[in-house]
Homo-oligomer: A and B are copies of this chain.
């Protein structure tokens, strides 16, 4: 009897861990992802703020599994899953049949159905968006410099105001890094822009930053950001946005060319809506063994899956996804004992140079320099590949010594020549 064929859709933290645990096991694995790389998303904001190169946090999937003959990779966009025929359909080419299926398709930016906001805002959830954001920020400075040269103060204000929505780790980390970028380049490289003209606003709907953390850590983050020049705006929402302004829930109109949205994510999966049950947060309902309700050979993990423990859904973070990936690999190999249990090892967020917060359980809290070092070590540890670790370590060291963010280039690849719009061979 041939080995069973496991298809894993998505090579984020969950899918990658699952595939790694299946390396060398008596199963054939096909890993499908729309990108040819695994992305270390926690450092995306450092790409967006000109500190890291995309390749520092994006690792070719084929390279990860080059010595694993039982793991195949297929770069493809999954369009649908036929649960009856056991086939994953993809955009380019024939479907991929499976014996067992792992849905690890992750999440995307959540604009809560507001199309106008989605249209006006920039996301920070994938590499394309991070590069777009880097290009955008640097272009804003160039346009501001041109506006300053002609004395157009109204335009200047728009180019130099940066509104970030969402006071979770992404918003905190991104605004902290943005303040550092401007602090670095404005005085030395944009002689005609007074640094005081720049306005970075971090807008959070609830009454504190980092709501997943202890209140004291959120307060510390807010104080630290404000000391670095970020306006922290709590208990307000952005209700409307256009090309050159946003409207806040208290009626204030802010003239800005930049709205960055980090106010939440929603599951992104290609499964037909009525084939699976979903939680209120739109994640796929799974049982305690992470099998999709009603589908014996299908698992869902990570942001795509609704795993509840003690009546609460696990957060959309990498640790539960990684643990679920390993659990599902065990289940597929028949090694799982008992239901999936998430072990919370804590969360952390960095605010910038020598300042971060970390929380382990309800007792251990770190802030400041110690939290920052813990953050650095942990992120380097989880970053994949010796080469990438070296690169990132070198980039951080360079930044620490020189305060430099060297990737300040505005560049985009020319259009795709291999898309399906070209005639088929």
A244 x B131 contact (CB < 8 A):
no
Smallest CB–CB gap between A18 and chain B, Å?
20
Smallest CB–CB gap between A341 and chain B, Å?
35
Considering the complex, give the chain B residue whose CB is closest to the CB of A120. B417
Q: A37-B409, A409-B36 are in contact. Are A416 and B135 (CB under 8 A)?
A: yes
A60 x B418 contact (CB < 8 A):
no
A66 CA to B55 CA in the complex, in Å? 28
Smallest CB–CB gap between A397 and chain B, Å?
11
A36 x B408 contact (CB < 8 A):
yes
Contact with B along A125-148 (1 / 0, CB 8 A): 001110110111011101101110
Q: Which one of B63, B152, B425 contacts A155 once the chains associate, using CB atoms below 8 Å? A: B425
Q: A189-B62, A409-B58 are in contact. Are A146 and B74 (CB under 8 A)?
A: yes
Residues in B whose Cβ lies below 8 Å from that of A143: 92, 418
Smallest CB–CB gap between A304 and chain B, Å?
22
Decide yes or no whether A275 CB sits under 8 A from chain B.
Answer: no
Residues in B whose Cβ lies below 8 Å from that of A74: 145-146, 149
Residues in B whose Cβ lies below 8 Å from that of A404: 387
Within 8 A of B (CB), among A405-425: 406-418, 422-425
A134 CA to B414 CA in the complex, in Å? 11
Considering the complex, give the chain B residue whose CB is closest to the CB of A406. B387
A410 CA to B33 CA in the complex, in Å? 12
A423 CA to B243 CA in the complex, in Å? 7
A244 x B423 contact (CB < 8 A):
yes
Decide yes or no whether A330 CB sits under 8 A from chain B.
Answer: no
A74 CA to B255 CA in the complex, in Å? 24
Q: Which one of B69, B142, B412 contacts A75 once the chains associate, using CB atoms below 8 Å? A: B142
Considering the complex, give the chain B residue whose CB is closest to the CB of A37. B409
A62 CA to B398 CA in the complex, in Å? 19
Considering the complex, give the chain B residue whose CB is closest to the CB of A158. B425
A146 x B93 contact (CB < 8 A):
yes
Decide yes or no whether A318 CB sits under 8 A from chain B.
Answer: no
Q: A155-B425, A409-B58 are in contact. Are A418 and B146 (CB under 8 A)?
A: no
Smallest CB–CB gap between A67 and chain B, Å?
8
Decide yes or no whether A94 CB sits under 8 A from chain B.
Answer: yes
B418 x A139 contact (CB < 8 A):
yes
Smallest CB–CB gap between A411 and chain B, Å?
5
Q: A54-B411, A55-B407 are in contact. Are A418 and B136 (CB under 8 A)?
A: yes
A414 x B93 contact (CB < 8 A):
no
Within 8 A of B (CB), among A50-79: 53-55, 58, 60, 62-63, 66, 69, 72, 74-76
Decide yes or no whether A369 CB sits under 8 A from chain B.
Answer: no
Decide yes or no whether A337 CB sits under 8 A from chain B.
Answer: no
Residues in B whose Cβ lies below 8 Å from that of A237: none
Q: List 18 A-B contacts (CB under 8 A).
A: A36-B138, A36-B142, A36-B410, A55-B409, A60-B406, A62-B185, A62-B189, A66-B188, A66-B189, A93-B149, A94-B150, A127-B411, A128-B412, A132-B415, A255-B425, A411-B413, A412-B416, A413-B413
List 19 additional A-B contacts (Cβ < 8 Å) besides A35-B410, A75-B142, A135-B416. A37-B411, A53-B54, A54-B411, A60-B189, A62-B185, A62-B408, A72-B191, A92-B143, A92-B146, A129-B414, A132-B414, A136-B417, A139-B416, A154-B425, A155-B424, A243-B422, A244-B423, A387-B398, A394-B394
